[in-house]
Amino acid sequence: MTVQAREHVPALTAVLSLVSLALVFGAALGRIPATAVPHASDAVLDAIPPVNAGLSLLALGVIGFGWRAIRRGNVERHRRAMLTGVVLFATFLLLYLYRIVVEGTTSFAGPAVVEQYVYLPILIVHMSLAVLCIPLLYYVLLLAATRPVSELSETLHPRLGRVAATLWLVSFALGIVVYVLLYVAF
């Protein structure tokens, strides 16, 4: 299985990315009916945004830790940190999409000028980076999963990994700003 996957990393990346993005856009555009998922209590739904902000903050630390580990040559620590980051991202995404499917998007309650010139630009960059990260993360993960560590330096893993980690960090940081604007400041 690994040998076959090794030869088809770009194709697997494309398939996984398309499926993931179809779910994301299906939820965001209201194409997944709320009846398709069990309905949680209001308390659970209300807890999702602060939990996701916490997951984002934790992910920032984990990704930074993983980046630092690989720069110091600690491959095992890097691997554990980045896999933890992926689990945090997947958990965040599942919770976010669940809430969107059940409740829809959250409207910005602040002044229109803040919405237009602060909130929406930050939200657009955050969401664009999150969408862009999905195929990058799949690609570097599949490279790492299908090759021995000794071969990874000969692939795009190090270069694309740096790009993916940078975009991932910025996306998580902007996600926290979006949370603060939506649920704390206004």
Tokens of 48: 């999702």
Query: What is the CATH number for 81?
Result: 1.20.120
Model confidence at 9, in pLDDT bands (50, 70, 90)? very high
pLDDT digit string, tens, across residues 118-157? 999 999 999 999 999 999 999 999 999 999 999 999 999 9
Residue 3 has pLDDT above 80, yes or no: no
Count of structural domains within the chain: 1
Q: Please state, rounded to an integer, the average pLDDT across all residues of the chain.
A: 95
Q: What is the DSSP string of 42-77?
A: HHHHHHHHHHHHHHHHHHHHHHHHHHHHHHTT-HHH
Specify the 3-state DSSP secondary structure of 173: helix
User: Cβ(122)–Cβ(174) under 8 Å?
Assistant: yes
pLDDT digit string, tens, across residues 72-92? 999 999 999 999 999 999 999
Residue 112 has pLDDT above 80, yes or no: yes
Q: Can you give the pTM of this predicted structure?
A: 0.91
Residue 5, pLDDT score:
84
Model confidence at 185, in pLDDT bands (50, 70, 90)? very high
Model confidence at 2, in pLDDT bands (50, 70, 90)? low
- Angle made by CA atoms 158, 128, 78, in degrees to the nearest 5: 25
Range of the domain at 55: 2-185
Residues 6+ apart with CB under 8 A from 136: 160, 163, 164, 167
